[in-house]
Every structure is written in structure tokens, then in C-alpha cells.
Amino acid sequence: MIETNNIILNNTEISQKIRRIAYQIYEVNYKEPEIVIAGIADNGYFLAEKIVSVLKEISDLKVILCKVTINKKKPLTPITTDIEKEIYKNKSVILVDDVLHSGTTLIYAIKHFLDVPLKKFKTAVLVNRNHKKYPVKADFKGISLSTSIKEHVVVEFKEDEIIAYLQ
């Protein structure tokens, strides 16, 4: 059971943040013939799906959705995507995750995408925790949150609701 005083963002607020992130992505990429939205499994991919849905609603951009699989406990293990590298070569790529905590997951995922030349590379997160140990930033973010290192941000994706809370 989630205590209501621990809720950071409710479903309505998250929907608004996703819409704003989608508009920002569109503003930066409106001249691109095709972009890739790459979501880090699992929650980053769910968030990427929502962003792609809004992008298709607000623009005529051709958007390719990509699932990035990374072992968050062992980020040096091989990272995989569900599309071939040739598909994102020389394209604008936006890497999406739910929470940016230390930057470990994003930095290793970014490294994977740098195996091929890209036209542009940006990152998007719903919650930026500001506890980075790597020089990686969120280009598009729903909310920046100053938390203690012991607090844990959870983003729950349910069928008809998304909620972010402190644990």
C-alpha cells in the first residue's frame, strides 16, 4: 500500500509530464525524417511507449520504438536492442528511462549506442534524482527531485495508471 504523502507524481501529473516531454522532443527533431525512441526495459520502455503515442498524436514524425535490454545490476554484460544497429545509424536517438539516479544505467546504454554514428543523441527521464556519479544528464525530464541517497523513487506502470512515489 502506497502512503499518499509519499506520492511524487499522480497519474494526471505524469500524463502532463509525458505530453510536455513529447512536445520538447518534437521541437528538437521536427526537421528529422525519422527518429528513434529507445526505452530501457522495463519501465523506461513503458515510458517510451507513452511518449511515442503522444508524438504520433501531435506530429507527423516517423518514430521507431526500440527496446533496450540492460542488466542494471551488471551493466557491463552485453546490452541488446530489439532493432538492428543499422536502423538507428545516422538518426536522432532519444534514450528513455523512468528514473535517473546515479547515471549508471544511462551511461552504459549510451555507450552501446555509440557503436554506430548518430545524427543526434538525447536522453529523457520522468524523474531526475540528482545523485549522479557519471557525467550524464537528462535532456528532457518530467521532474527534478532532491532526495536523500537512502530514498528510493518507484514508478509503477499499471494498465490504466502510472504513479511515482518515494519508498
CATH number, position 109: 3.40.50.2020
Give strand ranges (E) for the chain: 7-9, 34-40, 62-69, 80-81, 92-100, 120-128, 140-144, 153-157, 162-166
99-130 per-position pLDDT tens digit: 998 899 999 999 999 999 999 999 999 999 87
CA 148 to chain centre: 22
| Angle between helix 43-58 and helix 11-29 axes, rounded to 10 deg | 60
Residues spanned by the domain of 97 = 4-166
Q: Specify the amino acid at residue 102.
A: S
Quote the pLDDT of residue 130.
Answer: 76
Rounded Cα–Cα distance for residues 63 and 96 (Å): 14
Tally the domains of the chain: 1
- Numbers of helices and strands, H then E, in the chain: 4, 9
Residue 148 burial (CB count, 10 A): 8
Give the number of residues written for the chain. Answer: 167
Residue appearing with cell numbers 538518426: 91
Closest to 45 measured CA to CA, from 73, 92, 81, 4 = 81
Question: What average pLDDT does the structure give for the chain?
Answer: 94
* Whole-angstrom Cα Rg for the chain: 15
Q: pTM to 2 decimals?
A: 0.94
50-106 per-position pLDDT tens digit: 999 999 999 999 999 999 999 988 988 999 999 999 999 999 999 999 999 889 999
Least-confidence region, from 28-37, 49-58, 133-142: 133-142
